[in-house]
């Protein structure tokens, strides 16, 4: 387990390039591909958290997505290089709550965000299972480090034609 000073705040290792087949009739990336590209970016974040192939083999476990909330904030176009930032918000013995933002390289404003809740699952039973203690300790250190980041308004956002005012 690496020390807290070695934890990137936020995690920012994932990249992608918008492919031509992701573009819709409006000339920008189709909403379905936002989910695809956030899922690909989440793979890098999950590896960082400790959900590696070696972990999955050793413990006979994996992760399943439980819920996802996307916010589309700016258009993304063919050929744009995307970068992602991710943070761990919370976790318990069986689940973890995380948040990702997508940026076009060179633009500091988020193009989209994705809030997710995933579960640790036994591959034998296909049911949620407690995470090993070493992983829980790693998640605790990451959560503590990521707690220094400002909380985005999108976290826990409720859909409505009359959303609450942002503070």
CA distance 96 to 87: 11
The fold for domain 4-146 equals Thiol Ester Dehydrase; Chain A (3.10.129)
Q: What's residue 128's pLDDT?
A: 98
CB atoms under 10 Å from CB of 41, counted, come to: 24
Q: What's residue 2's pLDDT?
A: 42
Asked if 30 and 23 count as a contact pair (C-beta separation under 8 A), the reply is yes
- Residues of the chain short of pLDDT 50, as ranges, are 1-3
pTM score of the predicted model: 0.92
Q: Which residues pair with 70 in a beta bridge?
A: 114
Structure tokens at 51: 């959900």
State whether the Cα torsion 50-47-13-18 is positive or negative. Answer: negative
Asked if 111 and 73 count as a contact pair (C-beta separation under 8 A), the reply is yes
CA distance 139 to 92: 9
Q: What's residue 1's pLDDT?
A: 40
């Amino acid at each position: 387990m690496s020390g807290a000073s070695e934890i990137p705040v936020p995690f920012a290792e994932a990249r992608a390039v918008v492919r031509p087949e992701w573009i819709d009739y409006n000339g920008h990336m189709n909403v379905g591909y936002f989910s695809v590209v956030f899922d690909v970016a989440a793979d890098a974040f999950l590896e960082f958290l400790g959900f590696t192939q070696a972990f999955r083999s050793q413990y006979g476990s994996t992760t399943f997505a439980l819920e996802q909330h996307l916010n589309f904030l700016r258009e993304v176009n063919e050929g744009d290089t995307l970068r992602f930032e991710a943070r761990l918000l919370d976790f318990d013995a069986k689940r973890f709550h995380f948040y990702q933002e997508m940026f076009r390289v060179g633009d500091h404003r988020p193009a989209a965000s994705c809030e997710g809740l995933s579960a640790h699952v036994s591959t034998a039973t296909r049911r949620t299972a407690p995470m090993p203690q070493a992983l829980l300790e790693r998640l605790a250190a990451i959560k503590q480090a990521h707690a220094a980041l400002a909380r985005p308004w999108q976290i826990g956002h409720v859909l409505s034609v009359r959303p609450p005012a942002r503070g």
